[in-house]
Amino acid sequence: MRKRKVSRKGLLIAFEGIDGTGKSTQIKLLADWLRAQGEDVLETREPTDSAYGRRIRELYVNRGACTPEEELELFIEDRKLHVKELIRPALNAGRIVLTDRYYYSTAAYQGANGLDAKQILQRNRFAPQPNLVILLTMPPELSAERISSRGGQLNAFEQLDALRRVSELFASFSDPWLRRIDASQPVSSVQEQIRHAWRDLFSPEES
């Protein structure tokens, strides 16, 4: 493996994108690959299994049970716990943290639900900035088709119109650590590009 050019405490890599883009498959493949190189990897996800996460999952079937503002609070509180109990300790221990969703999801999904995406990002300043965000992109129509073909029902967050708005918001983010990858390509080529983005973290001039 190439020698790292940055010394590090730990690395935080977030995977974002609309539902059905294959985030969990790609995270698993990357985690296995990194572990095969001796890296200490923590795979995690949001919403978590906390009490907040459980309340969020109840909304999948009844989103009208709370206001958009209350819904936002649940995601923020869930993330505060996640950061405090899992993410920060892992980063301090020098681990590589791969998270399936992070604060761009809140800005995109709760933004698509009528709140201000920029303000949502500001509310998330407590959360450590990721070293890399892999944003998996896909036309919302294809994403909805994929979810349905897995036998899944589109939950309250996944209705096509909502996915279109979410997708537009994801497209509007432009931080330098954000890498967009077209997730409608075969799994192996998506993974190859993710590994490329990982290597670029250490040797950008070799890409």
Residues that bind ligand TMP (CB under 6 A): 19, 46-47, 75, 101, 105-106, 109-110, 157-158
Run of H or E residues at 178? strand 178-182
Run of H or E residues at 14? strand 11-17
Nearer to ligand TMP, 105 or 191 (CB): 105
Q: Kindly tell me the sign of the dihedral angle through the C-alpha atoms of 135, 137, 141, 143.
A: negative
Nearer to ligand TMP, 16 or 41 (CB): 16
Q: How far is the CB of 134 from ligand TMP (least distance, A)?
A: 14
Distance CA 57, CA 5 (A): 41
Nearer to ligand TMP, 40 or 85 (CB): 85
141-146: Cβ within 8 A, 24+ apart: 142/20, 142/184, 143/18, 143/19, 143/20, 143/21, 144/20, 145/20, 146/20
Nearer to ligand TMP, 94 or 152 (CB): 152
Q: How far is the CB of 80 from ligand TMP (least distance, A)?
A: 12
Q: How far is the CB of 198 from ligand TMP (least distance, A)?
A: 21
Q: How far is the CB of 181 from ligand TMP (least distance, A)?
A: 17
Nearest residue to ligand TMP by CB is 109
Q: How far is the CB of 199 from ligand TMP (least distance, A)?
A: 26
Q: Is 22 left (phi over 0), alpha (psi -120 to 50) or beta?
A: left
